[in-house]
């Protein structure tokens, strides 16, 4: 009777355990155990099976060494990935420089490349600071251009020069104005602290899409440097009141600039 009870207890226990295994679904863990055991023992039977037991120590050691190597390699992989990202950035920069150097040959002006080191966060279209100054040959009133969308565009003029850095007044600054030409017109461009300029006092015809360049009539900049494109024209019966909007650079794209070695008032100073 007691044995019967114990037998039934055992049966219930084993039934409970089996069902627990089934419900808990521990197969992933079991698979890992299977893989580990089969790696250690090599379950296929052969005459040399007994010799395989000698390899268990070696296999455990190699397993641990593999894990350690794996950790090392993962770390190395992370470092290499970080360095690769750096290399990719350098490659991109290098390509940009190459492109700029190619284009520089076409500019026809001597000058110096410089990096933007600071902008005005409150009025980004007013001034920028560049990392070249008097010691690098930068002079007051030198025009500053930048290479955007595969062409050189005018962005401003040196307004203050220090030993190692300079301040550039942007053409979008409202205190700045200069004469510019489009295909069939000439007028005065003034800034309004945004990425567009006002084209006023227009002499001639303007139409949407016309490109605007620095003028031969201007003493401020050398001629034929691209400024932007006409995006809006406000017609008026009185021709003197016609004005247009000229879309120019986006300040976020300005990183590397080229300071042209051009001093507009040089001849005048000599005359004086």
Residues in contact with other proteins by the rule CB under 8 A: 3, 6-7, 10-11, 14-15, 17-22, 25-27, 30, 33-34, 37, 43-45
Element (H, E) at 189: strand 185-191
Least distance (Å) from other proteins to the CB of residue 22?
4
Least distance (Å) from other proteins to the CB of residue 64?
23
Least distance (Å) from other proteins to the CB of residue 62?
23
Q: Which two tokens stand for residue 90?
A: 């350098």
Q: Which two tokens stand for residue 268?
A: 């005048």
Query: Which residue, 33 or 217, is less far from other proteins as judged by CB?
Result: 33
Least distance (Å) from other proteins to the CB of residue 51?
15
Query: Which residue, 14 or 39, is less far from other proteins as judged by CB?
Result: 14
DSSP 28: H
d(CA 217, CA 178): 10
Least distance (Å) from other proteins to the CB of residue 54?
18
- In the numeric block, the tokens 């227009």 are attached to 202
Query: Which residue, 22 or 234, is less far from other proteins as judged by CB?
Result: 22
Query: Which residue, 25 or 252, is less far from other proteins as judged by CB?
Result: 25
Least distance (Å) from other proteins to the CB of residue 255?
59
d(CA 194, CA 124): 8
Report long-range pairs for 101-110 (Cβ below 8 Å, ≥24 apart).
103/147, 103/150, 103/151, 103/152, 104/258, 107/145, 107/152, 107/258, 107/260, 109/222, 109/260, 109/261, 109/262, 110/260, 110/261
Buried b (16+ CB within 10 A) or exposed e, 16-41: eeeeeeeeeeeeeeeeeeeeeeeebe
Query: Which residue, 40 or 100, is less far from other proteins as judged by CB?
Result: 40
Query: Which residue, 15 or 85, is less far from other proteins as judged by CB?
Result: 15
């Amino acid at each position: 009777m007691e044995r019967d009870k114990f037998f039934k207890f055992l049966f219930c226990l084993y039934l409970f355990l089996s069902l627990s295994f089934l419900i808990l679904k521990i197969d992933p863990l079991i698979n890992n155990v299977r893989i580990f055991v089969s790696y250690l023992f090599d379950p296929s039977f052969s005459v040399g099976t007994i010799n395989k037991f000698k390899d268990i120590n070696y296999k455990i050691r190699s397993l641990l060494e593999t894990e350690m190597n794996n950790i090392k390699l993962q770390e190395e992989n992370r470092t290499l990935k970080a360095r690769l990202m750096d290399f990719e950035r350098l490659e991109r920069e290098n390509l940009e420089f190459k492109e700029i150097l190619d284009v520089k040959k076409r500019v026809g002006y001597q000058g110096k490349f410089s990096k933007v080191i600071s902008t005005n966060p409150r009025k980004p279209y007013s001034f920028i600071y560049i990392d070249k100054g008097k010691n690098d040959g930068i002079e007051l009133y030198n025009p500053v251009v930048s290479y955007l969308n595969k062409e050189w565009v005018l962005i401003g003029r040196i307004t203050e020069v220090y030993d190692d850095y300079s301040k550039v007044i942007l053409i979008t600054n409202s205190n700045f104005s200069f004469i510019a030409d489009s295909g069939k017109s000439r007028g005065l461009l003034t800034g309004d602290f945004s990425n567009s300029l006002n084209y006023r006092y227009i002499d001639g015809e303007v139409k949407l899409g016309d490109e605007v360049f620095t003028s031969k009539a201007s003493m401020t900049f050398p001629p034929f440097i691209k400024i932007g494109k006409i995006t809006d024209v406000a017609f008026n019966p009185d021709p003197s009141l016609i004005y247009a909007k000229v879309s120019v650079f986006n300040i976020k794209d300005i990183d590397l600039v080229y300071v042209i070695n051009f001093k507009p008032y040089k001849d005048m100073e000599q005359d004086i």
